[in-house]
Structure 1
Amino acid sequence: MNFNFREIATATMILFAVIDIVGSVPIIIDLRKKAGHIQSGKATLVAAIIMVAFLFVGEEILKLIGIDVNSFAVAGSFVLFFLAIEMILGITLYRDEAPEAASIVPLAFPLIAGAGTMTSLLSLRAEFDVVNIIVAIVANCIFVYGVLKASSRIERVLGQNGLSVIRKVFGVILLAISVKLFATNINGLF
């Protein structure tokens, strides 16, 4: 065990920025309205398991099925792009016929543990000790759980107009992240 506070802090901040759970509050509220209930604990636990599993076997899985990290990141940029379009334009592209509860899809994956997060984990693994990355994942999941649990209160405080503004602002930010993820990785495909 090689705990390094600096590595933990850096990895935590990188994952916090990529997961962007605060920016996802409008999406979470919409999902809660569509599904009627968000299973915060289940979504957080599944996202944590996905992230830790991908940290250990992600690159091998991608290699096994013949996908490189750049292709994975570009595909993830498309998912983020369409989520951003939904947020900015107020349209619905993703339709789940009758979600019983929003927990696994699209909350745990791809919203919390999405392609950007997975790509970041592979990049972090190249630089940092695995145990420090796991601590960063746990720290982020605790924060994610708190935001998921407080989404009703956040909605009441912000109101419909506040949520609409935040949704559009974070939609543009998410769009920019998707474009950056695409631009950074597209050259690696050719």
Structure 2
Amino acid sequence: MAFDIKEIVTATMILFAIIDIIGNIPIIIGLREKVGHIQSEKASIVAALLMVVFLFIGKEILNLIGIDVNSFAVAGSFILFFLALEMILGISLYKDDAPETASVVPLAFPLIAGAGTMTSLLSLRAEYAVENIIVAIFINIVIVYAVLKASGKIGKILGKQGINIIRKIFGVILLAMAVKLFTTNIQGLF
């Protein structure tokens, strides 16, 4: 065990930027309005488990089913792209027949532990010690849980107009992240 504060801080910041839980607040509030209840604990635990499992066996799983990391990232970029379109245009592309709660889909995956996060975990694994990445994952999950729990209060503070403005701004940012994820990884496919 070689815990390194610098590695933990760097990995935490990278994952925080990729997970972008602050930027996802408008999506979370929108989901809360659609389904009435968000299972913060379940979403956080499932996202943490997905990230830790993917950290250890992600590359092997992708290789087993014949998918390379670049293809996975490009697919993830499409998901982010459509989420961004929903935010910017105020339309609903993601439809669930009768969602009772929002926990595993689309919260834990692909919002929190999506393709961008998974791809980042594989990249971090090449550079940092696994235990430092795990600490970074759990720090981020605590932040995610706090934001999910407080999303109702945050929604009330911002108001409908504030949420709409933030939704559009972060929609554009999410769109830019989708384009970057796509352009960075599409080259690796050819």
Provide the alpha-carbon RMSD of the alignment.
0.4
Q: What is the CA deviation profile of residues 65-93 of structure 1, one whole-angstrom value per residue up to 9, with x for unaligned ones?
A: 00000000000000000000000000000
Aligned to 2:53: 53
Q: CA deviation at 1:150?
A: 0.3
The whole-number CA distance in structure 2 between the counterparts of 1:43 and 1:22 is: 16
User: What is the identity, as a one-letter code, of the residue corresponding to 1:69?
Assistant: V
Where structure 2 has 5 or more consecutive residues not aligned to the other structure, the ranges are none
CA-CA distance at 1:36 after TM superposition: 1.1
Query: What letter is aligned with 1:155?
Result: G
- Deviation string 1:19-51 (CA, Å, 9 cap, x unpaired) is 000010110011111111000000000000000
Residue of structure 1 in register with 2:73 after alignment: 73
Q: Which runs of 5+ in 1 are unaligned?
A: none
Query: Deviations for 1:91-116, whole angstroms, at most 9, x for unmatched residues?
Result: 00000011111000000000000000
Give the whole-Å Cα distance in 2 for the aligned partners of 1:134 and 1:42: 19
Where in structure 2 are the equivalents of 1:121-160 lying within 5 Å?
121-160=121-160
Alignment partner of 1:4 is 2:1: no
- 2:37 is paired with a residue whose SS is coil
Cα distance, 1:176 vs structure 2: 0.2
Residue 86, structure 1, aligned to residue 86, structure 2: yes
Letter in 2 for 1:31: L
Specify the SS of the correspondent of 1:111: helix
Cα distance in structure 2, aligned partners of 1:155 and 1:116: 26
- Percentage of matched positions with identical amino acids: 73
Distance, in Å, in 1 between the alignment partners of 2:171 and 2:133 is 28
1:181: which partner in 2?
181
Shift of 1:179: 0.2
Return structure 1 stretches of 4+ with deviation > 2 angstroms: none
Q: Match of 2:15, as an amino acid?
A: L
Residue 168 of structure 1: CA displacement?
A: 0.3
Structure 2 residue 113 is the aligned partner of structure 1 residue 113: yes
CA–CA separation in structure 1 for the residues paired with 2:159 and 2:135: 35
The residue number in structure 2 matching 1:17 is: 17
TM superposition shift of 1:173: 0.2
TM-score scaled to structure 1, two decimals? 0.99
Measured in 2, the distance between the counterparts of 1:159 and 1:134 equals 36
Q: TM-score, normalised by structure 2?
A: 0.99
Task: Report the alpha carbon displacement of residue 64 of structure 1 after superposing the two structures with TM.
Answer: 0.3
Structure 1 CA distance for aligned equivalents of residues 173 and 98 of structure 2: 29
Q: Which whole-Å CA distance do the structure 1 matches of 2:145 and 2:101 have between them?
A: 16
Q: Find the residue that maps to 1:37 and give its secondary structure.
A: coil
